[in-house]
Amino acid sequence: MLILAFESSCDDTAVAVVRETGEVLSSVGESQINHHTRYGGVVPEIAARLHAEAWQPVLDQALAEAGVEMSDIDLIGVTAGPGLQTSLLTGTTAASYLGLLYQIPVMPTHHILGHIVSVDLFKKGQKAPNIEFPALTLVLSGGHSQFFLRTENSVQLLGTKRDDACGEAYDKVAKMLGLGYPGGPIVSQYAERGNSQAFELPLVALEKETLDFSFSGLKEAVRRIVVAHDGLTGAAQERFRANICASFQACVERTIVHRLKRALQLYPDIQQVHLVGGVAANTGLRNAMQNFLEPKGLSLITPQDFSYCTDNAAMIGRAASLLSQKSPDKARLQYVDAKARWELDF
């Protein structure tokens, strides 16, 4: 089965062609990052206009790279939510219109289900990843910090953010240091050059049993330190940035490993731990999780390619195929509504 997928929930216009197995024939994305950098975050009106301009050329490239035509496609998957309403609309409109035009069923797909199954993706000609269930999936992105219990055909939410998402904390720390957007990659680069013991940052205490996350306390602690070091310039400023980023990075790692430990105590049957979403690109965090899991005989699975961590359409194609196996009636000739808020139900 060939699936054509659209993703436009935030600031990437992405189209992919995948097989139901997760084999990626093409995955094309047009990033808008340069258009939003100077505002320190995504501006919805600008995002909507850029999506509208980008989707057709991105679609043409995705079909060409996969070497297929619309008449070869069996199913269209599209991110229907959650996300920015005006960004989602480009994907849902394009997918619905193509579905009706070419008489191909369209599957409304949840963005987070896409991230969860992004570990299943593999490049054309490569081996499929060895995924085992039940798996503990940790989704860390710009909008989400969530734990899920994933089985062959179900996904259960175990814990979620109480305030800032993990990626959002990286973005806000970068913004207060004047380092631009998105914050994750630049903060982790600075962190590599700094001393992680330079500043003492708090491990936010939540109730013992919860698998929820809170990052706003950590962010505020960083803010107080940044304000106290206002006015630095040149080499001193660079040294300060590296040290505060390293201290922040180390505290994020401690927080995540602490929660991971709790999750494994609560769900001892877990076979694998999956780390997905934009923050899964962070090598420091990957290493910290791996070091914790290895002695327990557990492996950490991350998406096969860095481009599958951040928003992409291939993961939406894989999710759409799993949805259509489980609920075939949901894939129909239809006009798909964009839903800025949408609970994951799989």
Q: Provide the binding-site residues for ligand KG4, judged by CB under 6 A.
A: 10, 141-143, 167-168, 170-171, 182-185, 188, 277-279, 281-282, 310-311
Cα distance between residue 341 and residue 344, in whole Å: 10
R_g over Cα of the chain: 20
- Which partner in Zn ion, ligand KG4, none is near 22 (CB below 5 to 8 A by kind)? none
User: Residue 99 or residue 142: which is nearer to ligand KG4 going by CB?
Assistant: 142
What type of residue sits at position 11? D
User: Residue 23 or residue 253: which is nearer to ligand KG4 going by CB?
Assistant: 253
- Which partner in ligand KG4, Zn ion, none is near 26 (CB below 5 to 8 A by kind)? none
Least distance to ligand KG4, CB of residue 320, Å? 17
Location of structure tokens 């050059």: 193
User: Residue 105 or residue 143: which is nearer to ligand KG4 going by CB?
Assistant: 143
Least distance to ligand KG4, CB of residue 284, Å? 8
- Which partner in ligand KG4, Zn ion, none is near 108 (CB below 5 to 8 A by kind)? none
- Which partner in Zn ion, ligand KG4, none is near 82 (CB below 5 to 8 A by kind)? none
Least distance to ligand KG4, CB of residue 334, Å? 25
Number of other CB atoms surrounding residue 103 within 10 Å: 8
Least distance to ligand KG4, CB of residue 69, Å? 30
Work out whether 137 is an interface residue with Zn ion (CB under 5 A).
no
Least distance to Zn ion, CB of residue 111, Å? 6
31 touches 80 (CB < 8 A): no
Residues 6 or more apart whose CB falls under 8 angstroms from that of 294 comprise none
Measured in whole angstroms, the distance separating CA 3 from the mean position of its chain's CA atoms is 20
Work out whether 141 is an interface residue with Zn ion (CB under 5 A).
yes
Q: In the window 146-205, what residues touch Zn ion (CB under 5 A)?
A: none
Least distance to ligand KG4, CB of residue 271, Å? 24
- Which partner in ligand KG4, Zn ion, none is near 182 (CB below 5 to 8 A by kind)? ligand KG4
Least distance to ligand KG4, CB of residue 100, Å? 28
User: Residue 272 or residue 310: which is nearer to ligand KG4 going by CB?
Assistant: 310
Cα distance between residue 279 and residue 276, in whole Å: 7
Could you list the residues that contact Zn ion (CB under 5 A)? 141, 311
